[in-house]
């Protein structure tokens, strides 16, 4: 297996919008920098949590340009390149490779259903062959609850065989631990990241590379402590704390909830804006969420108070 | 209800690709002209059958430019404007309106799931408000088997109330006659097109405007006879003949099968090409399909032989 540059807690970064509904590059750059300062092992900008598919390709590329201009290290970036057309996917991948990004996170084509493994293979391999760069590192993005189309275990093996130097990892957002476990068992050395920190400790114990998780937007420190201490005696207790926060978040629509938390703790109400078809939390939901977090002793960017002693 | 320009048999036009995989504008223009000559009441270019979501927005806009330049009447065109982002959807709608197209066929945003009716309403109304043209006519595109996200009966009513002059119709590709019937009953005067000719006669008897159907690519004449004769004594027999061909097609993946038929009858093998994630029929499927059609007496562009006597 080739070396791959990502380990630890990767964050699918929230995308802030201005009051007129445009991506807010200034807030985005600042937030990315803050996440890296918190210890994020990489930034999966333009993932599902980023509302990437509510942005055009050119909006995504303009934001990536701004990150690079601002000095965010390209090797820490794993932009999502989700698109239904090979044409657009190849443009997004080419753009990321051109900036020297550490990798790309690639959805399968997600409009047509059902599609065959052969059809998905033709799509992804067509994109890889078109970009034709030895610098390209592809992480397959498996998220069937949203995309409905996914990468089967066998299909992952076909990619590893055909593109050993290029297809180096996978984000498993199936929510199905048995799938993550099977990937780790069948493809040792292939970088598997569960899509939730709930599975982080279990994944690390089977050779996983870390996790790529929405809640990383508000809890890099808490999740990172699991990663740092997974061989130690506190591992299960640290995992339980991280899981407790995740479960609290999951009581709400995830992206609006995360944005509400950032807005609340940064005292910046505009951060709560989402793009349709998502909607912001209403006032009652917002208050309930903040109250739920208070019960857990949560403060953005710090260790939960319950762990501070 | 406002007047709306589309009636009869509308065709979601197949998109031909060159051997290098690019949209083939020359073949596309010729095919659109042929469909209108066959009696198509309108061309829903860039629908699901068109592999529109396997093309980038700029590829779709370039093809529409070529149709207009070639003299295809804009008022016969109902381009699909499916996109997950409001940004791209608004660009596609603006482009179609700028060309004077008779209408647009608008998918709901189809990446995120689940989404609320309020979220879909915010997306579509945001696009309409951004384009802000009195010339715009929107046909909602309801195809939950593919898009997974759809327009509920109540949501359709909200659009009719809020945008009476703009949201004038709907293509119902749910495959669920009870939904089509409910739309026709609840919203008289609203232009409802079932997404399959199987429901054409039933829809016309309840005030439907026609149908928008994939099989129109190879059978405008047969379907049009149902439309022309729906009040006459032959109506049920004509519907049965059209339905028999549709059922034969449905035994195969629809888009590759339709392209194979066009390739066969036009003696033009390149027409069979599809873009991943779709795959062409293999040789055995192709031969079986052509044999099935022969049993029905089918010849492209002519009345089935069984009806010729």
A contact test, residue of B106, B277, B282, B285 with most A CBs within 10 A: B277
What is the pTM (predicted TM-score) of this model?
A: 0.96
**Closest CB from B82, B108, B279 relative to A118:** B279
A/B interface, count of CB pairs below 8 Å: 122
CA distance linking residue B195 with residue B200, whole number of Å: 9
Identify the residue whose tokens are 């995309």: A147
Q: Determine if residue B189 is left, alpha or beta; phi over 0 gives left, psi from -120 to 50 gives alpha, anything else beta.
A: left
Q: Determine if residue A301 is left, alpha or beta; phi over 0 gives left, psi from -120 to 50 gives alpha, anything else beta.
A: left
Residues of chain A neighbouring B90 (CB-CB closer than 8 A): none
- Residue A3's pLDDT is 75
A143-181 tens-digit pLDDT = 999 999 999 999 999 999 999 999 999 999 999 999 999
Q: B116 to chain A, minimum CA–CA distance in Å? A: 8
CA distance linking residue A109 with residue A74, whole number of Å: 25
Tell me which residues of chain A have a C-beta less than 8 Å from any C-beta of chain B.
Answer: 21, 48, 53-57, 59, 82-88, 91, 108-113, 115-116, 118-120, 122-123, 126, 145-149, 275-279
Q: Which parts of chain A register pLDDT below 70?
A: 1-2, 302-309
Residues of chain A neighbouring B57 (CB-CB closer than 8 A): 56, 88
Percentage of chain B with pLDDT > 70? Answer: 97
Residues of chain B neighbouring A111 (CB-CB closer than 8 A): 48, 53-54, 82, 110, 146-147
Inspect the interface and report whether the beta carbons of B119 and A277 lie closer than 8 Å: yes
Q: What is the mean pLDDT of each run of 10 residues along chain B (309 residues)?
A: 85 97 97 96 98 98 98 98 98 98 98 97 98 98 97 98 97 98 97 98 98 98 97 98 97 98 94 98 97 92 45
- Residue B115's pLDDT is 96
Residues of chain B neighbouring A147 (CB-CB closer than 8 A): 111
Smallest Cα–Cα separation from B184: which of B158, B202, B196? B202
Inspect the interface and report whether the beta carbons of B112 and A84 lie closer than 8 Å: no
- Residue B254's pLDDT is 98
Q: What is the 3-state secondary structure (H, E, C) of B156-210?
A: HHHHHHHCCCCEEEEEECCCCHHHHHHHHHHCCCCEEEECCHHHHHHHHHCCCCE
Inspect the interface and report whether the beta carbons of A122 and B279 lie closer than 8 Å: yes
Exposure class string for B93-103: b at 16+ Cβ within 10 A, else e: bbbbbeeebbb
B30-52 tens-digit pLDDT = 999 999 999 999 999 999 999 99
**Closest CB from A108, A113, A126 relative to B146:** A113
Residues of chain B neighbouring A143 (CB-CB closer than 8 A): none
- Residue B266's pLDDT is 87
Residues of chain A neighbouring B120 (CB-CB closer than 8 A): 276-277
- Residue A206's pLDDT is 98
Inspect the interface and report whether the beta carbons of A112 and B278 lie closer than 8 Å: yes
**Closest CB from A57, A112, A146 relative to B111:** A146
């Amino acid at each position: 297996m080739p070396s791959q540059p990502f380990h630890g807690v990767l964050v699918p970064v929230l995308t802030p919008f201005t009051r007129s509904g445009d991506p807010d590059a200034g807030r985005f750059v600042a937030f990315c920098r803050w996440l890296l300062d918190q210890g994020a092992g990489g930034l999966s900008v333009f993932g599902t949590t980023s509302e990437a598919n509510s942005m055009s390709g050119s909006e995504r590329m303009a934001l990536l340009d701004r990150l690079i201009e601002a000095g965010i290290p390209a090797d820490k970036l794993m932009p999502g390149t989700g698109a239904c057309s090979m044409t657009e996917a190849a443009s997004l991948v080419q753009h990321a490779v051109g900036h020297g990004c550490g990798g790309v996170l690639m959805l399968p084509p997600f409009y047509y259903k059902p599609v065959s493994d052969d059809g998905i293979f033709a799509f992804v391999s067509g994109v890889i062959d078109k970009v034709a760069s030895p610098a390209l590192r592809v992480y397959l993005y498996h998220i069937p609850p949203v995309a409905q189309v996914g990468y089967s275990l066998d299909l992952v093996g076909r990619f590893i065989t055909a593109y050993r130097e290029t297809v180096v990892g996978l984000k498993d957002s199936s929510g199905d631990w048995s799938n993550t476990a099977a990937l780790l068992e069948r493809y040792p050395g292939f970088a598997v990241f569960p899509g939730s920190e709930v599975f982080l400790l279990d994944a690390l114990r089977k050779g996983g590379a870390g996790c790529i998780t929405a809640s990383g937007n508000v809890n890099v420190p808490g999740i990172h402590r699991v990663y740092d201490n997974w061989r130690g005696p506190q591992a299960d207790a640290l995992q339980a704390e991280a899981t407790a926060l995740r479960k609290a978040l999951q009581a709400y629509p995830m992206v609006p909830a995360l944005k509400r938390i950032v807005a609340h703790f940064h005292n910046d109400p505009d951060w709560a804006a989402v793009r349709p078809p998502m909607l912001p939390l209403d006032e009652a939901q917002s208050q309930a969420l903040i109250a739920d977090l208070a019960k857990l002793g949560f403060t953005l960017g710090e260790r939960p108070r319950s762990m501070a002693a």
